[in-house]
Amino acid sequence: MINKRSPFYAYRYLVTPTSSQITLIQELNKSKEELMIDIIKSLAITGKTEWTKGNKRYLFIGFQHKDDIYIIKFARESIENIYIEGEDDIEIRRINEAKYVYLIIDTKHQIMLVERNVSVFQQIESSVKILAEFFRSKMRDFDYVVNIYPLVSKKKFWNYVDSAEEIYELTLEMNAPNMALFGNSETRDVLREIKEITNNEVVDISFKNKEGKLIILKESLGGYIDYVREVGGKYLLKFMRNGIRETKSSETDTAKIHIERKKSEKYTDEEMQNISDKLDSIHYLETREDENEIEED
């Protein structure tokens, strides 16, 4: 049986407290990371987890685990019509179909790899949004919220800036400080102070110049941009290149790797280790290689 390699897009999940007050539930003496792992493990214990959002039903099923790596089939239920031969005419029967994408979670690095499959989710951002809502609903019981952000490629942002003839807007969304000793320390300090004062989840900063004269320097904004790219957040950049206006964002710049898609058999220990190695590499910006960039080079 030949399995094809599928594109998997990389995201960071971040868990943030909704309150500075310690609740009875938080007195379980478990960190937010441990609570998140418990939720992920519960998907395996249950065997099949159903979740309904609006009028849509989703499934977590087909669980596999080794060390810090968890592989799950994330399915979207849909009702399909099939046409079969009857005694006197063609008959229409409705079946429930559970098309799925693979979800790979690395609890060590707080990374999710989400398979891109347009037959299941036309936009990968839709599947990520649903996943974020699911984990938020579970962590809300412990007074935490979950945000999932793209891990962007190593080169593209500054390539856009360097090649721009005019720059009109840069908008940054930064998650409140989450991962200790990760990201620019000055940026962490500023975000931590804001968090202590306002109890925010995210910080939005927007820089605009309608004439296209916006200046983006690594010396002044590099710390904020690296925080977005390394720890968690989003960016939106509007600029002109070769006389054409363009808009680029974290969604169009998400780092991607290819992993063999299993049809029925499980991943072997060797394959799981290979996935783990890819996740180790993609965790840090300086070692993050987007396979799109490799192919383009």
Average of per-residue pLDDT across 155-177: 91
Residues 51 and 124 grouped into a single domain: yes
CA 252 to chain centre: 13
User: Has residue 107 been placed in a domain?
Assistant: yes
% of the chain residues with pLDDT over 70: 85
Separation of alpha carbons 39 and 222, rounded Å: 35
Residues 87 and 181 grouped into a single domain: no
296, pLDDT greater than 50 = no
User: Has residue 282 been placed in a domain?
Assistant: no
User: Has residue 270 been placed in a domain?
Assistant: no
User: Has residue 281 been placed in a domain?
Assistant: no
Residues 142 and 168 grouped into a single domain: no
- pLDDT value for 121: 87
Greater confidence, 158 or 180? 158
Residues 115 and 260 grouped into a single domain: yes
22, pLDDT greater than 70 = no
225, pLDDT greater than 80 = yes
Residues 125 and 17 grouped into a single domain: yes
What is the pLDDT confidence band of residue 105, given thresholds at 50, 70 and 90? very high
- pLDDT value for 17: 82
% of the chain residues with pLDDT over 90: 41
127, pLDDT greater than 70 = yes
107, pLDDT greater than 90 = yes
Residues 38 and 131 grouped into a single domain: yes
Residues 142 and 246 grouped into a single domain: no
Please check whether residue 144 is in contact with residue 35, taking contact to mean a CB–CB distance below 8 angstroms. yes
241-254: pLDDT as tens digits: 999 999 999 999 99
Residues 73 and 170 grouped into a single domain: no
176-224: pLDDT as tens digits: 765 544 445 677 677 777 776 676 777 888 999 999 999 999 888 888 8
Average of per-residue pLDDT across 127-154: 91
280-295: pLDDT as tens digits: 999 888 888 777 664 4
23, pLDDT greater than 50 = yes
User: Has residue 290 been placed in a domain?
Assistant: no
Model pTM score: 0.85
How wide is the angle at C-alpha 143 spanned by C-alphas 140 and 147, nearest 5°?
Answer: 60
Count of domains observed in the chain: 2
- pLDDT value for 20: 59
24-75: pLDDT as tens digits: 455 567 788 889 999 998 887 777 898 988 888 899 998 888 999 999 999 9
Residues 38 and 22 grouped into a single domain: yes
Residues 185 and 118 grouped into a single domain: no
User: Has residue 133 been placed in a domain?
Assistant: yes
User: Has residue 76 been placed in a domain?
Assistant: yes
User: Has residue 286 been placed in a domain?
Assistant: no
Residues 126 and 20 grouped into a single domain: yes
Average of per-residue pLDDT across 4-8: 88
Residue 198's φ and ψ, nearest 5 degrees, are -110, -15
Residues 176 and 240 grouped into a single domain: yes
136, pLDDT greater than 60 = yes
Range of the domain at 188: 156-252
